[in-house]
Amino acid sequence: MTCPDKPGQLINWFICSLCVPRVRKLWSGRRPRTRRNILLGTACAIYLGFLVSQVGRASLQQGRAAEKGPHQSRDTAEAPFPEIPLDGTLAPPESQGNGTTLQLNVVYITLRSKRSKPANIRGTVKPKRRKKYAVASPALGQEALVGPSLQPQDADAEVPGYVQGGNLAKVGERPWRLIRGSGVQVGGSDFQRPKTQESNIRIYSESAPSWMSKEDILRMRLLADGAVAGLQPVSSKSGAHLLVLEGSSAGSVPRCGPSPCGLLKQPLDMSEVFAFHLDRILGLNRTLPSVSRKSEFIQDGRPCPLILWDSSLSPTSNETHSSVKLTWGTYQQLLKQKCWQNGRVPKPEWGCTEIHHYEWSKLALFDFLLQIYNRLDTNCCGFRPRKEDVCVQNGLRPKCDNQDSVALAHVIQRKHDPRHLVFIDNKGFFDRSEDNLNFKLLEGIKEFPESAVSVLKSQHLRQKLLQSLFLDKVYWESQGGRQGIEKLIDVVEQRAKILLTYINAHGARVLPMNE
């Protein structure tokens, strides 16, 4: 008798070994045969039912395994290690000699490979910043070099560089180029760095902004970087000085004697620089070049506006500082006559001056954006002035009852060009609220220059002002960098929207004024 090797055969063999002696004893006992037969039959029926249930369960499990296929996973209850992932692959049945197959109770376990660390996705790792250096070309020879220092700047500095395409350069992406011009001499092929200090007029492109002419850049560099030869007081009341600069080789630069000069004003007049850049962006071209400059012997080193001295301006009176004597009433009559418009020669009885009619439209638009009142509203009758305003300090505020007799001031022409105005004394005010704007400056104006209005409508005024004001390094830093400049531009942009609304509401015409 062989020993069974399966658990089911072992159980059956054990039960049979116990039941056979019992059955024999019951069969040979004294009990009635009928009762003995009933007991034996009951026991046999119970055991038979047990065997049938075991066989049925085994056949059912084999049928399910055949339906799932050899590559499906088994029930989790039958897995010996539930925490280990199994692929459920069963071994193929072994073939016996008589043609039958033997089902083996074997499970093959396949462990999943360890997941590798994902690679860095391109663009998620911050690249190292590389410093950019400029290399001078040996072919430059003794050509002039004008531009920023060749020392690399901090890549994290938030500054918008000028780009020829009209967009602001991104941080750390400003190209380095050698810009040729006059001012600093360059050595031979062994040139490393400029011998003089960095220019305060910085241009990081091959050309300046389109609204700046070559003469503008030349004069700005002269005012910002020129050596000082002398300092002369001009007026004790205003505190302005005449800064005499060393001679320039350019004959187009105005001079005060043998050398070019600049009018140095107080630090509170720094809005003169902003006014110059705004004038060029709007296409008016009526202001004199202005920069911000600081020196140890000037206002304790604080930045001050320096305006180019133009000796071609017509002489002015001491009272109104104007080359033409006009009152508010006379000015309103000139606007109605439209003097010199469309080439028409005015009649003598009209009382016209030599100034073209379109000049007043440009002046009114410019003064409204900066809220300059010292030309058309010297008595501050069109707004509520502060104690610091000149009209209040001079006691002119109460004299608004008879405004027609109030004289205009700072109306200046050139000797050789009396048709056009020159805007001087352009101190603007950025702290005036919207409900206190001086609309008297626009009174009587029925036309506005198309070049200026198109810039205000294009929504590019902010971008152009940032590019233009960035040229003046001293002014940019004196206003707190880009954050401070943005606040000034916010004020001008809001006033531009109000001006456009005013033009539409009053039916004013927008005309090309490039006569």
Question: What are the backbone angles phi and psi of residue 507, rounded to the nearest 5°?
Answer: 65, 30
- Round to whole Å and give the CA distance between 368 and 391: 17
228 three-class SS:
strand
Taking the C-alpha atoms of residue 435 and residue 430, their distance in angstroms, rounded to an integer, is 13
Question: How far is CA 475 from each of CA 25, 166, 269, 281, 403, rounded to the nearest angstrom?
Answer: 124, 21, 12, 17, 37
pLDDT at 183 over 50: no
Q: What are 298's strand-pairing partners?
A: 295
State phi, psi for 101 to the nearest 5 degrees: -110, 150
Residue 69 CB: number of other CB atoms within 10 A?
9
Give the per-residue pLDDT at 40. 75
Stated as kind and residue range, the H or E segment containing 76 is none
The whole-angstrom separation of Cα 197 and Cα 195 is 7
Mean pLDDT of 121-143: 37
pLDDT tens per residue across span 397-416: 778 888 899 999 999 999 99
More confident of the two residues 202 and 117: 202
Residue with tokens 């004294």: 30
Q: Distance between CA 243 and CA 250 in Å, rounded?
A: 18
Evaluate if residue 166 carries a pLDDT over 50.
no
Say how far apart CA 226 and CA 237 lie, in whole Å. Answer: 27
pLDDT attached to residue 11 = 63
pLDDT at site 498: 97
Is 356 exposed, middle or buried (CB count within 10 Å of its CB: 0-12, 13-18, 19+)? Answer: buried
Is residue 323 over pLDDT 60? yes
Residues of the chain with pLDDT > 70, as a percent, come to: 62
CA distance 243 to 232: 6
Q: Which of 417, 423, 415, 424 is nearest to 314 (CA)?
A: 415
| Torsion angles phi and psi, residue 443, rounded to 5 | -70, 130
Lowest mean pLDDT among 251-265, 281-295, 319-333, 387-401: 251-265
Is it the case that residue 103 has pLDDT exceeding 70?
no
For the ranges 42-46, 148-152, 508-512, the lowest mean pLDDT is seen at 148-152
Indicate the pTM of the whole model: 0.63
Rounded distance between C-alpha atoms, residue 294 and residue 171, angstroms: 27
Indicate whether 482 pLDDT > 50. Answer: yes
Number of H helices, E strands in the chain: 11, 15
- For the stretch 41-96, pLDDT in tens is 788 778 777 776 776 666 656 555 555 454 444 444 444 444 434 444 444 444 44
Query: H or E element: which one contains 276?
Result: helix 271-281
**According to the model, what pLDDT value does residue 435 have?**
95
d(CA 53, CA 44): 14
Task: Summarize pLDDT for 332-358 with one digit per residue, the tens.
Answer: 999 999 999 988 898 888 889 999 999
Mean model confidence pLDDT for the chain: 74
* β-bridge partners, 201: 472
Statement: residue 113 has pLDDT above 80: no
Angle between the N-to-C axes of helices 7-28 and 33-68, in degrees from 0 to 180, rounded to the nearest 10: 170
Predicted confidence at residue 64, as pLDDT, reads 56
Classify burial at 380, counting beta carbons within 10 Å of its beta carbon; exposed 0-12, middle 13-18, buried 19 or more.
buried
Tell me what pLDDT residue 190 has: 31
Shortest CA distance to 366 belongs to which of 295, 432, 428?
Answer: 428
Q: Among 66-75, 119-128, 487-496, which stretch is predicted with the lowest mean pLDDT? A: 119-128
